[in-house]
Amino acid sequence: MNEPSDNSRKPVVMQVVPALETGGVERGTVDMATALMNAGGQAIVVSSGGIMTRELDRCGAIHIQLPTDSKNFFKMRSNAERLKQIIGDFDVDIVHARSRAPAWSAYWATQQTGTPFITTFHATYNFTNRLKKLYNSVMTRGDRVIAISEFIADHMMQEYGTPWSRIRVIHRGINMELFDPQAIPSARLIKLASDWRLPDGVPVVMLSGRLTRWKGQILLLEALAKIDQKVVCLLVGSDQGREAYRADVEAYAKSLGLDDRVHLVGECRDMPAAYKLADVVVSASTDPEGFGRVAVEGQSLGRPVVAPRHGAAVEQITDGVDGWLFKPGDPDDLARALKNALSLNEQERADFHKRAIENARTRFSKEQMCAKTLALYNELLADKGRA
C-alpha cells in the first residue's frame, strides 16, 4: 500500500546498482544511503546483493534484491516492471541509477511512473559500434546526470551531446576518517611490513589497483628499470583470475633484473596502512580514468603521488605541488617523476605531506560528495514541493 503523498513524510530515494560487493560505485551507493538516512530521508537500494548490504542494515536503509547485475534483455525488462512496483509501493520520489544495465531498467520504470531520474556517469564506457554506444547512452538520460569529474563531463558532451544544463560535476569522495594518518597505529604498519617482508631503510614505491594490463604495472616496471636508486616495488591488487597477465608481469620483472625488488602482494584489506607504508604512491593507468581513487587516497595520507597527465588525475593533482604528473604511457617521463618524488629531503617531504592532505580534505571528502548529491536531490524534490 502506498504511503500518503504529503509533505510530512520522508523523501524517498531509490538507488539501483548491479551488486553490493566491493568497489567505488558500491562504496558511493552505501555512503549516499547513509547520508540520506542521516538527513531525515528514506533510502532504498536495489541490487543483486553482496556483503555491503550489512552496512545498509546498520544505517536503517532498505535493501531489495533483484537480478540487477544481469545484462539479459528479458531480465532487464522484468526488473523494470518490478522497479515500477517498488516505486509505487514506497512512493519513491527519486530514482538514482549508477550502472548501465540497471539504469535501463530504472529508465523504463521511471518513464512509466513519471518519477525523476538521476544517473551517475562513472567511466568513459568504451564503444566500438552504434549498438554499444546506444547501450551506454542510458547513463546520459537522467533528468540530471552526475559526472564524477570534469573529464567525464567533457566526455559526455563531446560523445553523447549531453547538454551542460543537465550535468552536475560531483567528484567522488574519500572517507577521511579511514584515510587519516593519525588514525593508523604502528602495529598495523608493522604487520603489513612483516607480511610483505619489506627490508628496512629501502624506499617503497606502491602501485595499487587490480592486476590488469591497463592499470600500467608493466609501464611502472619499465620506469623502475631506468632508476639507479634501489627501491622496493609493491604491486597491490588481486589478479581476479588473470593468471596469464600475472605471469607476464613476473617474467617481465625478471627480464629487467627487478624480480628481487618487485612484489606482487595480491589483495590488501588494510589499504590505509598500505598507503602509509609507501614512500611514493603511483597511478600508471594507460587509459584515462573517470576519477581513480588512488591519487586522492594517497594524498589523504600525505604520500607523494605520481599519476599520468590524463583523465581526472589532472583535477586531483597540481604538478609539483601536491603530486607529480607524467606523460601517459611514457616510461622515461614516469621515471623522471619518480626521481622527483624519491628525492625529497626531510623538510620538503614534511611540507609536501601537509599540502597533499589539505588538497584531499578540502576537495575530495566523502562529506562534500554527499552534501552535493543531497543538494541535487533537493533540486529535484523542490520541483515536486518535497525539498
Q: State pLDDT tens for residues 287-341.
A: 999 998 999 999 999 999 999 999 999 999 999 999 999 999 999 999 999 999 9
Average pLDDT of the chain, as a whole number = 93
Same domain, 166 and 295: no
Strand ordering across the sheet containing 262-266 = 262-266, 232-236, 204-208, 280-282, 305-308, 324-326
Q: Determine the pLDDT at residue 291.
A: 92
Query: Is residue 292 one of the residues assigned to a domain?
Result: yes
Q: How far apart are CA 259 and CA 234, in angstroms?
A: 11
How would you classify residue 90: left for phi > 0, otherwise alpha for psi between -120 and 50, otherwise beta? alpha
Residue 7 pLDDT > 80, yes or no?
no
Q: Which residues contact 174 (CB under 8 A, 6 or more apart)?
A: 293, 296, 297, 300, 360, 364, 365, 366
Same domain, 241 and 348: yes
Query: Is residue 4 one of the residues assigned to a domain?
Result: no
Query: Is residue 35 one of the residues assigned to a domain?
Result: yes
Same domain, 123 and 196: no
Looking up residue 36, the CATH number of its domain turns out to be: 3.40.50.2000
Angle of helix 366-383 relative to helix 24-38, nearest 10 degrees? Answer: 60
- DSSP state string for 91-123: T-SEEEE-SHHHHHHHHHHHHHH---EEEEE-S
Residue 5 pLDDT > 50, yes or no?
no
Same domain, 97 and 35: yes
Q: How far apart are CA 261 and CA 252, in angstroms?
A: 12
Same domain, 159 and 42: yes
- The pLDDT-based confidence of 3 (bands split at 50, 70, 90) is very low
Query: Is residue 277 one of the residues assigned to a domain?
Result: yes
Range of the domain at 136: 12-173+366-383
Residue 384, helix vs strand vs coil: coil
Q: Determine the pLDDT at residue 259.
A: 86
Q: Determine the pLDDT at residue 383.
A: 75
Query: Is residue 2 one of the residues assigned to a domain?
Result: no
Residue 8 pLDDT > 90, yes or no?
no
Q: Give the model confidence (pLDDT) of 100-115 as tens digits.
A: 999 999 999 999 999 9
- DSSP state string for 285-326: -SSPPSS-SHHHHHHHTT--EEEESSTTHHHH--BTTTBEEE
Q: What is the mean pLDDT of residues 154-161?
A: 95
Q: What is the mean pLDDT of residues 270-290?
A: 95
Same domain, 89 and 197: no
Same domain, 270 and 377: no
Query: Is residue 147 one of the residues assigned to a domain?
Result: yes
Residue 29 pLDDT > 90, yes or no?
yes
Query: Is residue 48 one of the residues assigned to a domain?
Result: yes
Q: How far apart are CA 34 and CA 59, in angstroms?
A: 6
Q: Give the model confidence (pLDDT) of 344-373 as tens digits.
A: 999 999 999 999 999 999 999 999 999 999
**Which of 18-27, 111-120, 159-168, 267-276 has the least mean pLDDT?**
18-27
Q: Determine the pLDDT at residue 1.
A: 35
Same domain, 333 and 375: no
Residue 231, helix vs strand vs coil: coil
Same domain, 37 and 146: yes
CB 114 within 8 A of CB 83: no
Q: Determine the pLDDT at residue 21.
A: 86
Same domain, 205 and 262: yes
Query: Is residue 1 one of the residues assigned to a domain?
Result: no
Phi, psi of 128 (to 5 degrees): -120, -5
Q: Give the model confidence (pLDDT) of 77-132 as tens digits.
A: 999 999 999 999 999 999 999 999 999 999 999 999 999 999 999 988 888 889 99
Residue 50 pLDDT > 50, yes or no?
yes
- Which of 277, 260, 264, 268 lies closest to 190 in space, CA to CA? 277
Q: Give the model confidence (pLDDT) of 170-198 as tens digits.
A: 999 999 999 999 999 999 999 999 999 99
- The pLDDT-based confidence of 386 (bands split at 50, 70, 90) is low
Residue 210 pLDDT > 90, yes or no?
no
Q: What is the mean pLDDT of residues 204-233?
A: 94
By percentage, how much of the chain surpasses pLDDT 70?
Answer: 97
Overall domain count for the chain: 2
Same domain, 106 and 220: no
CB 249 within 8 A of CB 235: yes
Same domain, 129 and 277: no
Beta strands 280-282 and 204-208: pairing type?
Answer: parallel
Q: Determine the pLDDT at residue 52.
A: 92
How would you classify residue 63: left for phi > 0, otherwise alpha for psi between -120 and 50, otherwise beta? beta
